Each structure stands twice: as structure tokens, then as C-alpha cells.
Amino acid sequence: MSVIEVQGLTPLEGEIKIQGSKNAVLPMMAAAILHKGTTVIENVPRIQDVFCMLGILDSIGCKCRLEGNRLKIDASVVTETEIPKEFVKSMRSSIIVSGPLLGRMKRAVTSFPGGCSIGERPIDLHLTALDALGARVEEDGEELLVTANELTGADIYFPFPSVGATENALMAAVLADGVTVIHGAAREPEIEELCLFLIGMGARIHGVGSSTLVIEGVLSLHDSIFTVTGDRIVAGTYLCAVMAAEGCVTLTGIRPSHMEAVLRCAEEMGAAIRRYDDLISVTMTGRPADYSVVTGPYPQFPTDLQSPMMAVMAAAEGTGRMEETVFEGRFGTVKELQKLGADIIIEDNRAEIRGLYPLTGAVVRARDLRGGAALVVAGLASRGVTQITDCSHIERGYEDICRDLKSLGAVIRGME
């Protein structure tokens, strides 16, 4: 699917079961390398990033089988320690394979991820963490060779709660000799999920959900089965869709407690939200009110939902403000929103959004994963047809955004 067409101004009604979490399942797939046996993961989303990670696992010798949303990984034999460049270039998060490869094989070869449309995303924190555990890092052009005779528990200090670096350090420490303490660890729900996944394999991890993780190294892991929770970013995107289009929608298969910053924001803007154990209902009548949002590490407002929420603000009443503190390139979608008539002024890492409803359909381009989803949200609040090109970005994180929104009554279709 390379193009999505949206006919706006149709309220949404119905229920969606949210797909499994992309940001949780990718490190779990990488962590399966640590075990010389079989790992089964349930509720795996069928998205491009998952298929890319499957390619990496296959390339190093793992036997993977994805049937529906059930993934079986047999990592009994790992024959290679090099992550092919094509996978690194197409998915920056492939760097998280380095930690488990190093933990099991004491060697990992990868390359610098290269540019990213939403920011630089340096990997220095990853390398610093692996170095603290006893790894040696050698650079040869674009190639990185990480080796260790033995990994030894250590104190690791992060000046910023990097999700990827926390995951890499955590996975490398599981089979290290001794105790590792990660100070300043990221607290995102996906880190908690990874910890629970590893504990289910036999790892010893304390402080789950906190900024201090204590990992007692073990000699080996065992077979396990784990079910991934629903994707809070996908749920947040569909929440934004309801706010943009109006209507009443139930989102199931999620943990509302993991979305509290987003839900509070939506309520302040006028959405009526009811929380249950594993679902939320969202009702939006009339236009959203203006609001100010500042992104930040969990439990603050997630940067991954900055673009979709900005699309809502563009079709709200009054003047809203957005401050981006995580990725300097997240405002790249603003130029596309402006083609729809959005009144947005950017100054450094801040945006002032003067609400205008309805927006006007136009041809726009998805510049990145979440920015593409934001344009779909904006299209729902636009008069006429919005045509979004380069939609392969969206397929990296959403199983089928057209299917889901169409089931709620949206007039939307995907085309090649």
C-alpha cells in the first residue's frame, strides 16, 4: 500500500481490538537469541518492522515461524553474529540485537544506523553500556565490531533514559557474570514488558517499572510463552482519530494505566473517556479545545503521539501549543499539515497551532511512521479527499490502519 485516500467529516462509531505492541515485541524477538531453545510470543503484530526483525533472526541462524499472530522462534543454533547492513538501514532499532548477540556469542557485528527523519538518535549510550559490561568496541568505517571474552556485571549510569540503550544493557546483562545495576533506566511500559518476558525465560530482574534495574546474571534460560499487550501508540492514534472526526469508539486489548498522560490530555481537550481494566471508551462531541503539550520520557506525553495530537490541534478550537523535547526532527510533518490548511508556526522545538475546522483535503506525503498516521488523522477532519503518498512508512507500525478505521465508519481506502 503506497497511497491512502481519506474522505473526511464522517464521525466514527464502533470497537477496535488494538494490535500487539511494536515497541514491546521487537526487543522480545531480539531477546530470544539469548536462549538456546524455543520461545513463543503471542499477539505479534503483522507489521513491516516485525518482518524486518524476522529477517535478522533468520540471517543469523534462528528458525522462525509466524502463524497468524503467533510467533515461534527456535534459537537452538546461531551461526552468524553479523547483522546485515540492509536491515540496519531499514530499521534503526535493529541495534538492539547487539546486546543479546554479545550476551550469547560474545560477538556482534553491526553498522551505524545512518540518518533518521525524526532526529539523530545517537547510539553512544548503547556502546557505553556494553563497554561497562566488559565489551570492546571497534569501528571500521561504517562497521561496528563489539566483542568480549566475558561479560561481567557492572553499574551502568544513563544521563538520559534511553529506551533502546536500556533494552540493550538489560539483555546483555542477563547472561553476564555477577550483578548489573542500571541507573537512570527508561521506564516505558515496553521496558517493563521486556523485563517480564525475560523473567518468564528464567532471568532474575528486580526493580521492574522503576528507573533502577538490578539484573542477577544466570547461566542459561528456558523455553517460554509470552503474550504481548496492546500497542499504546496505536491506541493513542485511534484516540486522536476519534477526537478529529468526533464519535464514540471503544478500544480494547490495552492497559489504560500505560496511557495516562495521553488520556488526561484528551480529557482536557473535551473527550469523554471511560477507563476499564483492558479497554477504554472514547466519546467526542464538538471540536476539541486548545491545550498545551510537552513531550518527554515516560510517564510524560509520548513523542510518538506528538504528530497525531498536533493533527487534532490543527482542527481544534483556539490556539494550542506543542513542545518537543525528545526528537528534534518530529516537526517534519508540519509542512504536510500546512498543505491541508493547518495554521502552525514553528520556533525552535515549539509549535503554536491555531485551530481551523474543517481542514481542506489535499495531496500530502508521509515522511515517517507516526507523521504518516497523523496525516490520516488530519484527513478525517478535512473537507473533501486527502491523498497520502509514501504510506509504506505507516505499515512499519500499523497492521492495517485503513481496515481499522473503515470498521469504525471512516471513508478510507489504501491503493498501490
Q: Which residue ranges make up each domain of the chain?
A: 3-19+230-415, 22-226
Handedness of CA 94, 96, 99, 105 (dihedral sign): negative
Task: For the chain, 416 residues long, give each residue's pLDDT as a single digit of tens.
Answer: 799 999 999 999 999 999 999 999 999 999 999 999 999 999 999 999 999 999 999 999 999 999 999 999 999 999 999 999 888 888 878 899 999 999 999 999 998 775 444 344 568 999 999 999 999 999 888 888 999 999 999 999 999 999 999 999 999 999 999 999 999 999 999 999 999 999 999 999 999 999 999 999 999 999 999 999 999 999 999 999 999 999 999 999 999 999 999 999 999 999 999 999 999 999 999 999 999 999 999 999 999 999 999 999 999 999 999 999 987 767 989 999 999 999 999 999 999 999 999 999 999 999 999 999 999 999 999 999 999 999 999 999 999 999 999 999 999 999 98
Do the Cβ atoms of 357 and 378 come closer than 8 Å?
Answer: no
Annotated binding residue 412:
no
- Alpha carbons 301 and 173: distance in angstroms, whole number: 29
Give the residue from 269, 207, 268, 237 showing the smallest Cα distance to 379: 237
Class of the domain covering 22-226: alpha beta
Q: Is 326 annotated as a binding residue?
A: yes
Q: Enumerate the β-bridge partners of residue 90.
A: none
The dihedral through the CA atoms of 288, 294, 296, 298 has a sign that is negative
Task: Report whether 122 belongs to an annotated binding site.
Answer: yes
Paired strand residues for 20: 230
- What's the 3-state SS for 379-407? HHCEECEEEEECHHHHHHCCCCHHHHHHH
Confirm if 405 and 340 have CB atoms less than 8 A apart. no
Active site residue 195: no
What three-state secondary structure class fits 176? coil
Which amino acid makes up residue 242?
V
List the catalytic residue out of 52, 116, 195, 265: 116
Cα(12)–Cα(94) distance, rounded to whole angstroms?
36
Question: If one looks up domain 3-19+230-415 in CATH, what number appears?
Answer: 3.65.10.10
Do 225 and 40 contact (CB within 8 A), yes or no?
yes
Q: How many CA atoms lie within 13 A of 81 on its CB side?
A: 19
CA dihedral 153, 138, 167, 73 (to 10 degrees): -100
Q: What is this structure's pTM?
A: 0.96
* Number of CB atoms found within 10 A of residue 178's CB: 13
Closest CA to 395 of 132, 163, 48: 48
* Three-state secondary structure call for residue 236: helix
The rounded distance, in Å, linking the Cα atoms of 50 and 382 is 32
- Is 304 known as a binding-site position? yes
